[in-house]
Amino acid sequence: MSEVEVNQWDVLSQLLFCERRFTDTIATNGALLEGFMFAIGWRKCSMKNEQFGLYGSLGKMENAKDEWRNRGANLSLVGCILGESLQYVGDNSFQKIQNCFKSLGVPSFDQVDYEADIPANEGEFEFASPLTFTMNGFKNSPHLNKDASLYVWDGGFRLISGLDKFKEMCQSRVQGEN
């Protein structure tokens, strides 16, 4: 992996880590999963007469309303880093999924507001409405999803940073702030 790619994954890790401020852990992480799962973006709404809703904790979003609404550029960067990496997945899967999202007019996970009249997923690398990520001891045992959707691309990746490198990075940031 090039130094640029390593830096991109470092930025991605930091941005996702910061997104935890606006959401609670997902309570039903699955019997075969370990770690704490978080989600950002849009999902089908569980409220009557509502189609889409945002993942997040209303209380946490209200406490940092301006910060939450202005995080779009960071989320777009997350989408670019992931999308750029995923576009090379075999059999043009990335392009097929992106075309499906565009044809359905669903919002991208980096959109703060859902506007039905604005074409969603216009960005070069946008590919998903929700994005989930798991931290702290992620483990996913082999299993079969019995409720899989045709419109969900369920993939996983693991961000691994050497413990010594992580400690060094944290120490240098703490020392830089003093």
For the chain, the structural domain boundaries read 3-177
Q: Is the pTM of this model over 0.85?
A: no
Q: Are 127 and 98 in contact (CB under 8 A)?
A: yes
What is the band of 163 on the pLDDT scale with cuts at 50, 70, 90? very low
Check pLDDT > 50 for residue 154.
Answer: no
Residue among 167, 164, 54 at smallest CA distance from 114: 54
Beta-carbon neighbour count of residue 27 at 10 Å? Answer: 6
Beta-carbon neighbour count of residue 128 at 10 Å? Answer: 25
What is the band of 170 on the pLDDT scale with cuts at 50, 70, 90? very low
Task: Report the mean per-residue pLDDT for the chain.
Answer: 72
| Alpha-carbon gap, residue 56 to 160, rounded angstroms | 25
| pLDDT on residue 160 | 43
Q: Are 134 and 35 in contact (CB under 8 A)?
A: yes
Cα dist from 117 to 107, 111, 120, 167, whole Å: 11, 13, 9, 47
Q: Which residues pair with 52 in a beta bridge?
A: 44
Nearby residues of 159 by Cβ (< 8 Å), 6 or more positions away: 9, 12, 13
